[in-house]
Amino acid sequence: MTSGSSALVTGAGGGIGSAVVATLAKQGWAVVGVDLVERPAALDPNEAIGWVVGDVRDDATIDRAVAVASGLGRLSGLVTATLTEQRGALESLDSAALGAVFDVQVAAAWAWSTAVVDAAAGDEVSIAHVSSVHAQRAGPGMAAYAIGKAALDALVRAGAVEWGPQGVRCNAVLPGFVPVERNKERWSEPGMSARLLANHPLRRFVTAEDVAQVVAFLLGPESRAVTGVSLPVDGGMLAMLPPWA
């Protein structure tokens, strides 16, 4: 990270998003979080963290956040960590359900990326989207989410190719199961937790902080030759064949 740089993080109030904000701030970034909720109290009040409350799908929210981040330093980083799910069997989905997922996971990521690249005006920028292992594997009832994450990975490749000549790097992380508050009913129950861990070769859950550290690497100069990559941060889940295979 270059001194005087700022970064935007959407979905900053969530488990992974807030961990990304905290990690980037500790590494010296001036960070602006964006979410529908107010800044989480757990974030260090002494860190250089700005906050914008708004819907990531609204152009006005994008304009306001870009202006705030540009006022804190050279805007050179973007992390999109927004999340929406439309669970249900594949045949039960409708265009509204798919559209809701695409609006948040894909269209908004594209809009924020475009806005940051435009604001950079030719300066180097690093973009990291939070995708999911669902982009590469299917699970019952998760079709809309998986389709949206797969499209997000396609956006990563397109951004890397089309914006690369401008000095823009575009990557993604693919978290596996990350125990956060919204899925507490799964990891807090011993039996369920054990079944989940059986699918992790490392035999431990990936934490939000683990994901945030990889995101920070992708935004920083150490990864200056890395672009167009969707990097699993999953404890080995994608590498593991199921027991019956």
Q: How far apart are CA 98 and CA 138, in angstroms?
A: 16
Query: Residue 242: inside a domain, yes or no?
Result: no
**% pLDDT > 70, the chain:** 94
What are the backbone dihedrals phi and psi of residue 99, each rounded to the nearest 5 degrees, phi first? Answer: -65, -40
244 lies in some domain: no
pLDDT at 2 over 60: no
- Does some domain include residue 92? yes
Confidence label for 135 from pLDDT (cuts 50, 70 and 90): very high
The span from the CA of 133 to the CA of 174, in Å, is 5
Q: What tokens does 176 get? A: 């596996």
Residue 48 lies in a domain: yes
User: Is there a domain that residue 63 lies in?
Assistant: yes
- Residue 243 within any structural domain of the chain: no
Q: Is residue 148 part of a domain?
A: yes
Question: What CATH number did the domain enclosing 133 receive?
Answer: 3.40.50.720
Strand partners, 231: 173
Sheet strands side by side (includes 230-233): 49-53, 30-35, 5-10, 74-80, 125-130, 168-175, 230-233
The span from the CA of 127 to the CA of 111, in Å, is 12
**Residue 145 domain-assigned?**
yes
Q: pLDDT digit string (tens) for 178-188?
A: 877 666 666 66
Decide if 129 contacts 172 (C-beta within 8 A).
yes
Residue numbers of the domain that contains 233: 5-237
How many structural domains is the chain composed of? 1
